[in-house]
Structure 1
Amino acid sequence: MSEKVFFCLGENMSSLSGKVQTVLGPIQPEQLGYTLTHEHLTMTFNCCYSPPPPPQKALSEEPILMKNLFWLKQNPYSNRENLLLNQEVDTIKAELLHFKEVGGGSIVENTTTGISRDVRTLKVMAEETGVNIISGAGFYVDATHSSETRSMSVEQLTKILVNEVLEGADGTDIKCGIIGEIGCSWPLTESERKILQATAEAQAQLGCPVNIHPGRSSDAPFQILRILQESGADISKTVMSHLDRTIFDEKKLLEFAELGSYLEYDLFGTEMLNYQFNDAVDMPSDNERIKTEIVCTSGKQHLLPFIVLSDAIPAMRMQQYGVKLNHFRTKA
Structure 2
Amino acid sequence: MTTGRAVRTVLGDVSPTELGVCDAHDHLFLSSPQLPGQELRDASAARAELLAFREAGGGSVMQWTPYGMGRRAADLPLLSRDAGVHVVAATGLHQAVHYTPELLDRLRGRLAGLFVSELTEGLATSGVRAGFIKVAGGFHALDAHARWTMTAAAEAHHATGAPIAVHLELGTGALDVLDLLCGELRVAPDRVILGHLNRFPDLVVHRQAAEAGAYLAFDGPSRANHATDWRMPDAVRALADAGFGDRLLLGGDTTTAGARSVNGGPGLPYLLRRVRPRLELALGEGLVEQMLTENPGRAYAVEWA
Which amino acid in structure 2 is aligned with residue 305 of structure 1?
A: R
1:34 paired residue number: 21
The two structures have a TM-score, normalised by structure 2, of 0.81
Question: How many residues end up aligned between the 2 structures?
Answer: 271
Residues 23-81 of structure 1 deviation map (CA, whole Å, 9 limit, x = unaligned): 111122221100111111011132x24xxxxxxxxxxxxxxxxxxxxxxxxxxxxxx33
* Counterpart pick for 1:162 among 116, 119, 129: 116
Deviation for aligned residue 1:118: 1.3
Q: Matches of 2:190 and 2:97 in 1, distance apart?
A: 28
Deviation for aligned residue 1:258: 1.8
Higher relative contact order (CA 8 A, sep 6+): 2
2:251 paired residue number: 309
1:123 paired residue number: 77
Deviation for aligned residue 1:123: 1.9
Deviation for aligned residue 1:217: 6.7
2:39 paired residue number: 84
Q: Matches of 1:217 and 1:99 in 2, distance apart?
A: 25
Bigger radius of gyration: 1
Give the secondary-structure state (helix, strand or coil) at the position aligned to 1:104.
coil
Deviation for aligned residue 1:16: 5.7
Which amino acid in structure 2 is aligned with residue 117 of structure 1?
A: R
Q: Do the aligned partners of residues 97 and 301 (structure 1) sit closer, same or farther apart at CA in structure 2, a change above 3 Å counting?
A: closer
Structure 1 gaps of 5+ residues are 1-13, 50-79, 276-281
Give the secondary-structure state (helix, strand or coil) at the position aligned to 2:88.
strand
* Counterpart pick for 1:248 among 177, 180, 201: 201
1:55 paired residue number: none
Q: Matches of 2:68 and 2:246 in 1, distance apart?
A: 32
Q: Do the aligned partners of residues 18 and 249 (structure 1) sit closer, same or farther apart at CA in structure 2, a change above 3 Å counting?
A: closer
State yes or no: 1:174 paired with 2:128. Answer: yes
* Counterpart pick for 1:284 among 218, 223, 228: 228
Residues 149-190 of structure 1 deviation map (CA, whole Å, 9 limit, x = unaligned): 346556x2211111101000123311111111x123334332
2:211 paired residue number: 258
State yes or no: 1:322 paired with 2:269. Answer: yes
In the TM superposition, structure 1's runs of 4+ consecutive aligned residues that sit over 6 Å from their partners are none
2:54 paired residue number: 100
Deviation for aligned residue 1:232: 2.2
Q: Where do 1:127-138 residues align within 5 Å?
A: 127-138=81-92
The two structures have a TM-score, normalised by structure 1, of 0.75
What RMSD in Å do the two structures reach over aligned CA positions?
Answer: 2.3
